[in-house]
Structure 1
Amino acid sequence: MSNKMAKSALDQAGSGTRSVWSGEQVKHPYRATQTPIVASAAYGYQDIDEWYDVALGAAPGFIYSRMSNPTVETLETLEAKICGLENAESAVAFSTGMAAISSVLYTFLSNGCRVVSTKDSYGGTNKVFEEFLPRMGVSVTLCETHSHEQIEGEIAKGCDVLYLETPTNPTLKIVDIKRLVAAAKKVGALVIADNTFATPLNQSPLALGVDIVVHSATKFLSGHADAMGGLVCGSEELMAKVRHYREINGASLDPFSAYLIIRGMKTLALRIRQQQSSAQAIAEYLLTETLVEAVNYPGLPSHPNHAIACEQMRGFGAIVSFVLVGGMDTVKILLPQLQYAHCAGNLGAVETIYGPARTTSHVENTLEERLALGISEGLVRISVGIEDTEDLIADLQQAFERVRALSR
């Protein structure tokens, strides 16, 4: 089957099939069926003219792995995989999720520009908005995430970039992508969306009018907590600018991490299916727990934007957050009682992971900053793993019972 025919067939295939086969329609050396790890920093040429043509992009090939690498590059595997899942023309891989997020913002924003976003973005992204972009002379306006009217009003005042994250980390708030894209397009703004929590299986921002999608590939795409990376995808015209920024600023993804993310992405559909099924059940259980003040999960009918989530998502994801009665004092008792969980600053892995915002999503922020963002000290984020649902719920039940026993 030719590459062109294979791509056409893949366009019609389901997301699970595309997770496995996107980027794999190439002939690997030695007839290998798996992506080779090309660890070379540089690539040699005997023909100086050919070398020059490749360096200028006039001929295919590789020069230096900061610029492109056969394990990473679009025509081969990792970048092609995310293009297949997000239905994007082109993609650019980065060393971390934050490298991807910050680089795409720095690519399209400069002195005098204005960016509009929401208060409920990931802590690292929030720091870029609050600390680094203003140093560049970029005006930043962060709106209340639940107020679409406020966001639209700020966009109408003039906006170069609208940055969205939905669901948000760690409060699981939802914004109406299509509605806000329409407002942004009226003023000619570029729309960037972080799709890490939803994953391409559950949400397709490009189909909703977004221009650029970003992922922390460290999380669900990799799925095994053993590789770091970031991915940006969109049109070839936009990705050419992002790729140029990466080539000069150097936050390139190494080939071994690219290989691990490729391997992880092949099981994405299977993992997400189990993880979000368990997440729904855990969220419903937490609603019945007396030591829990609030539960955040877009799959709950009680979620403020459940209707929007149903409209723009195909599934509700594997992240649940909840607020404990007693705040951090209860957090410190509950988490060590869990048997089937890591307490760690990561998410999206096959193992279940728990953590409070102050040591996970918003570790960069002060207590005052977190409270201003509506993140209480009693908020705990669960990244639900692939374990049996019944075991995860039983584990939570015994942990809560232990908290009650220790509190008597």
Structure 2
Amino acid sequence: MPALGPSTRSVHLTEVVDPATGSVVPPIATNSAFAYPDVDAWLAAATGQAEGHIYSRNSNPTTDRFEAKVAALEGAEAGTSFTTGMAAISSTLLALTGKGSRVVSVKDAYGGTYLMLTEILPRFGVDCVVVDTDDADGLDAAIAEGCDVLYLETPTNPALKVLDIARTASAAHEAGGLVVVDNTFATPINTQPLAHGADLVLHSASKYLGGHGDVLGGVVCGAAELIDRVFRYREIAGTGMDPAVAAQMLRSLKTLGLRVERHNANAMRVAGWLEDHPAVVAVHYPGLLSHPGHEIAKRQMAGFGGMLSFELAGGMAAVKTVLPRLAHAYLAANLGQVETIVGPPATTSHVELTPEERAAAGISEGLIRYSAGIEDAEDLIDDLDQALSVL
């Protein structure tokens, strides 16, 4: 049988008819605890000798279904879910590191991740080395000096830089390290990092996996042994996903392939149009031939994603002038929704950083992050045209 297409996979992977009711839609297990007929059966489930759930902070049938679905989409053995994307990121890093561990990453990462690496983990005695994203030789050198965890994000948020997962993963494995990739921007429809050598892949599920801006969540997938390590931290930290949220996520995942196809197409159209606009000094989108990482993106991405960013010559003053004029885009701190969402890093991805820290990370105050929704591309372009005309 030929390989299934992205939408078929999104709809059918891991789906089963509920044996008790015949329901096609997974039931929501909202209960806190699960009862057993006797102590022996209870003890067997509690100690992992038999299948079963004890308490929803640890596991729940509905969240299990969500974790299995994302793991299948990523080609992973297992997954575990969280309240938010940052809970997934922080829990994974804390589960895999300890005093004396060394983490290597790149500057162009989500602002919360950057602070986790530069402020939080060092408090626990973790050595974190953050390398210039464009310095491939510097990244290799940092890995060779010692690497317990290599943490990557590709495409990066918000500069849309592309990292070669296979090359860097090989270097990290040679140094004895584990490779974690944030796949939020690409989604499992466009990229499957595990197939390129990553050990763990994570998502802010609040973005494309949820897709409608009405839920928060995170998820990590990979080999069962590694997921068990992350899960053990997660169950004690108490950062597991709510089953009602998992049910909403499961509903949304069925349209993931369809939505991402439209996001990809719209972002490509918008990026190409912006590249020729006189008020725009730079467009960052891996689908453009002008993008420095275009060839790498072609090798490891099935589509170039719905995210792009562009820079205005007038800096923050220009951003403040243009954004309120947009009629078909929301000024909000999210992405990956069916609606187009826009905003500067100062209020979105890097709100936690000072202007000086953003400048040090190479993020200009004139940068606009643009999450292309599923509207008609012509309408999005017309909207940008009238908003930019003021410049």
| TM-score, length-scaled by structure 1 | 0.94
| Residue in 2 that maps onto 1:5 | none
Partner SS for 2:159: coil
Could you tell me how far apart the structure 2 residues matched to 1:207 and 1:39 are? 35
| Residue in 1 that maps onto 2:33 | 42
Partner SS for 1:170: coil
2:124 aligned to 123, 126, 136, which one?
136
User: What letter matches 1:193 in structure 2?
Assistant: V
| Residue in 2 that maps onto 1:18 | 9
User: What letter matches 1:37 in structure 2?
Assistant: I
The alpha-carbon deviation at position 26 of structure 1 amounts to: 4.7
| Residue in 1 that maps onto 2:355 | 367
Could you tell me how far apart the structure 2 residues matched to 1:22 and 1:360 are? 33
Partner SS for 1:111: coil
Percent of aligned pairs with the same residue? 52
Instruction: Confirm whether residue 391 of structure 1 aligns to residue 382 of structure 2.
Output: no
Aligned residues: 391
Could you tell me how far apart the structure 2 residues matched to 1:189 and 1:26 are? 41
Could you tell me how far apart the structure 2 residues matched to 1:206 and 1:381 are? 27
Q: Which runs of 5+ in 1 are unaligned?
A: 1-8
| Residue in 2 that maps onto 1:310 | 298
Partner SS for 1:33: coil
Cα distance, 1:138–1:349 mapped onto 2, change above 3 Å:
same
Q: Do 1:196 and 1:219's aligned partners in 2 also have CA atoms closer than 8 Å?
A: yes
Could you tell me how far apart the structure 2 residues matched to 1:257 and 1:127 are? 27
Instruction: Confirm whether residue 72 of structure 1 aligns to residue 60 of structure 2.
Output: no
Q: Do 2:213 and 2:334's aligned partners in 1 also have CA atoms closer than 8 Å?
A: yes
Could you tell me how far apart the structure 2 residues matched to 1:204 and 1:62 are? 30
| Residue in 1 that maps onto 2:337 | 349
Q: Which runs of 5+ in 2 are unaligned?
A: none
Partner SS for 2:201: strand
Could you tell me how far apart the structure 1 residues matched to 2:85 and 2:375 are? 26
| Residue in 1 that maps onto 2:231 | 243
The alpha-carbon deviation at position 146 of structure 1 amounts to: 1.0
| Residue in 2 that maps onto 1:4 | none
After the TM superposition, which residues 1-400 of structure 1 pair with which residues of structure 2 at under 5 Å, given as runs? Answer: 12-73=3-64, 77-400=65-388
Deviations 1:237-274 (A, max 9, x none): 11111111111111010011111111111101111111
User: What letter matches 1:206 in structure 2?
Assistant: L
The alpha-carbon deviation at position 293 of structure 1 amounts to: 1.1
Partner SS for 1:66: coil
The alpha-carbon deviation at position 29 of structure 1 amounts to: 3.5
Could you tell me how far apart the structure 2 residues matched to 1:303 and 1:13 are? 30
Could you tell me how far apart the structure 1 residues matched to 2:100 and 2:374 are? 47
| Residue in 2 that maps onto 1:6 | none
User: What letter matches 1:173 in structure 2?
Assistant: K
Could you tell me how far apart the structure 2 residues matched to 1:238 and 1:181 are? 16
Partner SS for 1:72: helix
Q: Do 1:18 and 1:81's aligned partners in 2 also have CA atoms closer than 8 Å?
A: no
Cα distance, 1:98–1:28 mapped onto 2, change above 3 Å:
farther
The alpha-carbon deviation at position 46 of structure 1 amounts to: 2.5
